[in-house]
Amino acid sequence: MAPSALPTALSLLEAGRGVRILEAATVGGATSHGNCGTITPSHAPPLAAPGVPMRALKWMFTPDAPLYLKPRVDPALWHWLARFTARCNSRDWMASARARAALLDDSRARLVQWIGRYGLDCEFGETGLDYVFRDRRNFEHYVAECAPLNAMGIATETIDGADYLRQEPALKPGIVGAIRFPDDAHLRPDRYVAELARAVRERGGVIEEGCRVEAIEPGADGVRVRIAGQAGGRGERRGRDAVVAMAAWTPQIIRPLGLRLPIQPGKGYSITYSRLDRLPRRPLVLKDRSVCITAWGSGFRLGSTMEFSGHDSTLNEVRLTALERAAREYLQQPPDASMIQEKWYGWRPMTWDDLPALGRSPKHPHVWLAAGHGMLGISMSTASGQLVADLMTGRKPAIDPAPYRVERFQ
């Protein structure tokens, strides 16, 4: 639990509300733990783009492709895919991109404020982020895509391969070019989540770990939440409002309330290593392989892939090997097995319009949703939390909440 729940809790505490977070496992133990920690206003364009269905079809037959769908009978998945595919057109692409940009830009600015205000010690760096290419056609394709990004207010710099290698000696020869997003940033996500949790507790918020929510029972003037503790001990908590921020687990919990939230788990993998001497100065996306590298003072991480295989909890070695292969292809000093600290997977909470559901439930006035942040839960975290808290406390939100309304899925 993290970017969805903790920033909402912090913003509510600031507004004078009491908060209790019920976490089934440990804070920051799920998707927010091993992700790449990039803060990317540059990623405003959604996954559903013209041409993606054809590319995805091709990738279905490639076991180590960056996007993979495990063919199976699953009506919820096929419904999700049909809605996703229908959005792969320029008009819907632009609508999602604008709404994502609003959340990402507000979040990027707010994150700097929060880091200062709450003293969040999370290896934050405002270095920008680079897409790097070894394949010239791919590079030219992405250079052509910069114009629509610039029109959306996303700054880019195009750098020639030779120049880039002079700037970035950690990379092997063979880079044909790079695109820099100077306004992007990064942090260490596990540290960020731990620091948010500290700030919540210091302001009087209560975080109960090992406390699984089994059911939410809304009433006329509040909510009752049934819980099962780790030791099997059952109980209940009562409150004025409940915010459901359970990422890929949200649909199951809200279904009995007659609420729909089409979230598919988009499984991604990462490998975390101890620090190397020669590491890239800023986060890189090795675009030809769709692999991200983020280096911090405390180590570095390779992460990638989007696998639609349901709530599958196996660590697929083929995918992990693809990460290592990309690192060997690009890095002068690739990591070796002795440096591995952790191999990890996480389920990105993916909605078909690539926007989170933020706001009040249309059926139950005391039930709120903050889920479905997809590939960008860290990047959207502060704006998303502030928005939900503002809606709950009747404060005018900083951005228009309409695109994220829960009603669009009912």
Ligand X SMILES: Cc1cc2nc3c(=O)[nH]c(=O)nc-3n(C[C@H](O)[C@H](O)[C@H](O)COP(=O)(O)OP(=O)(O)OC[C@H]3O[C@@H](n4cnc5c(N)ncnc54)[C@H](O)[C@@H]3O)c2cc1C
Residues that bind ligand X (CB under 6 A): 1-5, 22-25, 29-32, 35-38, 212-213, 245-247, 249, 253, 268-270, 303, 346, 348-349, 371, 373-379
With respect to ligand X, which residue has the nearer C-beta, 172 or 260? 260
CA dist., res. 102 & res. 97, Å (int): 9
CA dist., res. 39 & res. 108, Å (int): 7
Q: Min. distance of Cβ 87 from ligand X in angstroms? A: 19
With respect to ligand X, which residue has the nearer C-beta, 32 or 386? 32
With respect to ligand X, which residue has the nearer C-beta, 27 or 165? 27
Q: Min. distance of Cβ 135 from ligand X in angstroms? A: 22
- CA-CA-CA-CA torsion sign (218, 255, 93, 49): positive
CA dist., res. 245 & res. 31, Å (int): 12
Q: Which residue has the tokens 């997003």?
A: 181
With respect to ligand X, which residue has the nearer C-beta, 276 or 285? 285
With respect to ligand X, which residue has the nearer C-beta, 356 or 403? 356
CA dist., res. 234 & res. 228, Å (int): 4
Contacts of residue 276, defined as CB under 8 A and 6 or more positions apart, other chains included, come to: 300, 333, 335, 339
Q: Min. distance of Cβ 13 from ligand X in angstroms? A: 17
With respect to ligand X, which residue has the nearer C-beta, 49 or 261? 261
With respect to ligand X, which residue has the nearer C-beta, 170 or 375? 375
Are 140 and 161 spatial neighbours (Cβ–Cβ below 8 Å)? Answer: no
Q: Min. distance of Cβ 193 from ligand X in angstroms? A: 8
Q: Min. distance of Cβ 302 from ligand X in angstroms? A: 9
How far does Cα 294 stand from its chain's mean position?
15
Q: Min. distance of Cβ 96 from ligand X in angstroms? A: 16
Give residue number: closest CB to ligand X. 377
With respect to ligand X, which residue has the nearer C-beta, 307 or 390? 307
Within 10 angstroms of residue 51's Cβ, the number of other Cβ atoms is 8
Tell me the DSSP string of 94-147. Answer: HHHHHHHHHHHHHHHHHHHHHHHHHT--S--B---EEEEES-HHHHHHHHHTHH
Structure tokens at 224: 């009752």
CA dist., res. 83 & res. 261, Å (int): 13
Q: Min. distance of Cβ 375 from ligand X in angstroms? A: 5
CA dist., res. 52 & res. 178, Å (int): 22
Q: Min. distance of Cβ 387 from ligand X in angstroms? A: 14
